[in-house]
């Protein structure tokens, strides 16, 4: 056994030191004092109304265009219950978020992966698939994608919307990392460009923390009402207590300074990761994101992720299974590196161990 310190490049969790614990305590006390009866009670399945109103104002939409849920992932589950029959076609980026792939598989969706490039989905591949058949929806993570770190260009966003209009399918835009841009210019959200075509989902998991389970969807009131019915049949109403606390925290104006704090914490970690890759692994192909939680590597020719992962574990370096992000094969040399929960010196040491492992193999 090794006595090296363990380093985990596994799940994309926030840094524990980012959690605004004191502010959440104050917000909880205040939320209970002001809304105690409402947030300890069952309520409408669309969510705690003051929180939905706050989200609507923040996002520039009407309150009936907002649905809140216990985290955002489960809202995809409810969407699948409402929209999908076994065998229905769903497009995803390849690679894509592994938990959504698992969920789609559980609903027996026919999943087709559209190859992802550094600036978003390969449009020629998307068009070729559309000529065969249109999907029920295209699940897309346009900003600082999990797992690759890629951000979709404005040009591709516009083309994807044109295609969605032409072939009549829904865009499911998953944007939990969108607010975490450390540099560069924001691209327009699909929902802003095409609200009629898009169901936008996001989350406070990466802003406050995943513990309270606060997620939301923006979309057409009709579809959200159907999704809320599936939610009601599952849990009656979402956690009003957690959402009441999140509401109070937002109402106090704490979101913007928290985002700035997160950027200050995470930007140097991204830089540490890129610097270490450039110095230890210049022959690996890395994505170079401007924000978010992840970057990804394509290992040099001949190196296989599965073997690298096993060998890295003997150096107490823990990596996630790159293959799990690919809906229909591929990814033999793909590695996702979530850097946010690691200090810069751990990142440097982790990449150094990774480069040693790859060289040895
Ligand atoms: C792309 C993406 N979508 C959804 C989620 C889950 O978010 P939530 O905690 O709101 O369910 C994650 C979490 O890592 C994610 O990366």
- Domain-ending residue, one of 205, 224, 251: 251
Distance CA 101, CA 97 (A): 7
**Domain presence at residue 2:** no
What are the structure tokens assigned to 231, written together? 């939610």
Q: What is the CATH number of the domain that holds 239?
A: 3.40.640.10
Number of separate domains in the chain: 2
Contact in structure between 288 and 148 (CB atoms under 8 Å): no
pLDDT at 349: 97
Q: Is residue 274 part of a domain?
A: yes
Of 353, 179, 190, nearest to 276 by C-alpha is: 353
Answer yes or no: are the C-beta atoms of 64 and 40 closer than 8 Å: no
CA-141 nearest atom, ligand 1: 1
Shared domain for 55 and 14, answered yes or no, is no
Judge whether 1 lies within some domain. Answer: no
| Residue in 69, 73, 175 to alter for ligand 1 test, most ligand atoms within 8 A of Cβ | 73
Q: Which atom of ligand 1 is nearest to the CA of 214?
A: 10
Q: 99 alpha carbon to ligand 1 midpoint, in Å?
A: 8
**pLDDT tens profile 313-339:** 999 999 998 899 999 989 999 999 999
**Ligand 1 atom closest to residue 204's alpha carbon, by position in its atom list:** 10
Provide the pLDDT confidence category of residue 358 given band limits of 50, 70 and 90: very high
| pLDDT tens, residue by residue, 163-208 | 999 999 999 999 999 999 999 999 999 999 999 999 999 999 999 9
Angle between helices 240-251 and 49-59 (to 10 degrees): 40
Are 125 and 242 members of one domain? yes
Pick from 251, 276, 304: which residue ends a domain?
251
In a domain, 158, yes or no: yes
Domain identity same for 63 and 155: yes
Q: What is the DSSP string of 185-214?
A: PPPPPHHHH-TTTEEEEEESTTTT-STT--
Is the CB of 14 inside a 6 Å radius of any atom of ligand 1?
no
Ligand 1 neighbour 347 (Cβ under 6 A):
no
The pTM of this model reads 0.97
List the domain range (segments joined by +) for residue 293.
7-19+256-360
Q: Are residues 238 and 154 in the same domain?
A: yes
CB of 13 closer than 6 angstroms to any ligand 1 atom: no
C-beta 12 within 6 A of ligand 1: yes
SS3 call for 123: helix
- Whether 267 and 193 share a structural domain: no
Same domain, yes or no, for 172 and 51?
yes
Residue 260 and residue 207 share a domain: no
pLDDT digits (tens, 9 = 90+) for 220-231: 999 999 999 999
- Tell whether ligand 1 has an atom less than 6 A from the beta carbon of residue 141: yes
In a domain, 184, yes or no: yes
pLDDT for the residue 2: 76
- Reported as a single tens digit per residue, the pLDDT across 229-247 is 999 999 999 999 999 999 9
- Identify whether residues 93 and 44 lie together within a single domain: yes
Convert the pLDDT of each residue in 92-149 to its tens digit.
999 999 999 999 999 999 999 999 999 999 999 999 999 999 999 999 999 999 999 9
In the reported structure, the alpha carbon of residue 324 is separated from the centroid of ligand 1 by a whole-number distance in angstroms of 16
Percentage of the chain exceeding pLDDT 70: 100
**Same domain, yes or no: 55 and 138:** yes
From 14, 69, 72, the mutation candidate for ligand 1 (largest count of ligand atoms within 8 A of CB) is 72
Residue 310: which residues within 8 A CB-CB, separation 6 or more?
A: none
Which residue's CA is minimally distant from atom 6 of ligand 1? Answer: 73
Tokens of 46: 């669309």
Tell me the percentage of the chain whose pLDDT exceeds 90: 95
**Ligand 1 contact via 274 beta carbon (within 6 Å):** no
Specify if 352 maps to a domain: yes
Domain at 15, CATH number? 3.90.1150.10
Q: Does residue 1 surpass a pLDDT of 70?
A: no
Residues 308 and 168 in one domain: no
Q: How many whole angstroms separate alpha carbon 325 and alpha carbon 100?
A: 10
Same domain, 221 and 303: no
CA distance 34 to 30: 6
**Residues 310, 333: one domain?**
yes
Domain boundary among 251, 284, 308: 251
**Chain mean pLDDT for the chain:** 97
């Amino acid at each position: 056994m090794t006595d090296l310190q363990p380093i985990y490049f596994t799940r994309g969790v926030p840094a524990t030191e980012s959690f605004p614990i004191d502010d959440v305590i104050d917000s909880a006390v205040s939320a209970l004092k002001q809304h105690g009866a409402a947030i300890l009670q069952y309520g409408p399945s669309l969510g705690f109304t003051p929180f939905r109103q706050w989200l609507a104002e923040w996002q520039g939409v009407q309150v009936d265009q907002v649905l809140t849920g216990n985290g955002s992932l489960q809202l995809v589950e409810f969407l699948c219950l409402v929209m999908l029959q076994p065998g229905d076609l769903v497009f995803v980026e390849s690679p894509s978020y592994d938990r959504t792939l698992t969920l789609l598989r559980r609903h027996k969706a026919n999943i087709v992966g559209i190859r992802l490039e550094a600036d978003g989905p390969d449009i020629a591949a998307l068009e070729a698939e559309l000529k065969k058949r249109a999907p029920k929806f295209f699940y897309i993570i346009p900003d600082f994608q999990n797992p690759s770190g890629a951000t979709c260009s404005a040009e591709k966003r516009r083309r994807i919307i044109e295609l969605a209009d032409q072939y009549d399918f829904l865009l499911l835009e998953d944007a939990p990392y969108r607010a975490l841009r450390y540099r560069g210019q924001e691209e327009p959200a699909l929902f802003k460009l095409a609200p009629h075509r898009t169901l936008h989902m996001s989350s406070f998991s990466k802003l406050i923390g995943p513990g309270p389970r606060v997620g939301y969807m923006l979309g057409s009131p009709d579809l959200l009402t159907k999704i809320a019915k599936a939610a009601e049949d599952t849990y009656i109403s979402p956690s009003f207590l957690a959402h009441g606390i999140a509401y109070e925290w937002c109402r106090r104006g704490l979101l913007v300074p928290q985002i700035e704090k997160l950027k200050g914490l995470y930007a140097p970690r991204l830089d540490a990761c890129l610097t270490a890759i450039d110095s230890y692994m210049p022959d690996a192909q890395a994505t170079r994101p401007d924000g978010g939680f992840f970057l990804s590597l394509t290992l040099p020719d001949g190196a296989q992720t599965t073997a690298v992962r096993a060998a890295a574990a003997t150096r107490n370096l823990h990596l996630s299974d790159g293959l799990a992000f690919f809906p229909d094969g591929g990814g033999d040399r793909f590695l996702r590196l979530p850097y946010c929960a690691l200090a810069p010196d751990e990142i440097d040491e982790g990449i150094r161990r990774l480069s040693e492992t790859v060289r040895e193999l």
